[in-house]
Amino acid sequence: MKNILLVFLGGGFGSVLRYIIGKYLNNAENGIPYGTFAANILGSLLIGIILGFAAKNDTLSQNQTLLLATGFCGGFTTFSTFAYENHVFLKSGDFTSFALYTIASFVIGLLAVFFGMYLVK
């Protein structure tokens, strides 16, 4: 039960922070989801740092890892919003934005995880 509570609390904080970032960075005029992109890239960097610390000499407990990686990063990043925003790009025929957003999110997100893990080595 404690593990569920830790994930719940971390996820709640992550979701609220993602909402705030999206509110201020997503661009309604041109439809470019900078907020979602930023949350997903920052979340990828953070999970790399968190799991890098967890792997390095057991510096984080299992509870801390659950709260921060599974809970916070899980709530902060969002695949469902990313998928929906890509649906909107495709439906509107904006294939360039679709391709750029999808490729940049994947490549930069993956690099952010590696960079986060590198930072804690």
DSSP assignment string, 45-75: HHHHHHHHHHHSTT-S-HHHHIIIIIIIIHH
Q: What tokens does 73 get?
A: 């990063």
| Model pLDDT, residue 57 | 79
Instruction: Give the three-class secondary structure for 97.
Output: helix
Residue ranges in the chain whose pLDDT is less than 50 = none
Give the global pTM: 0.90
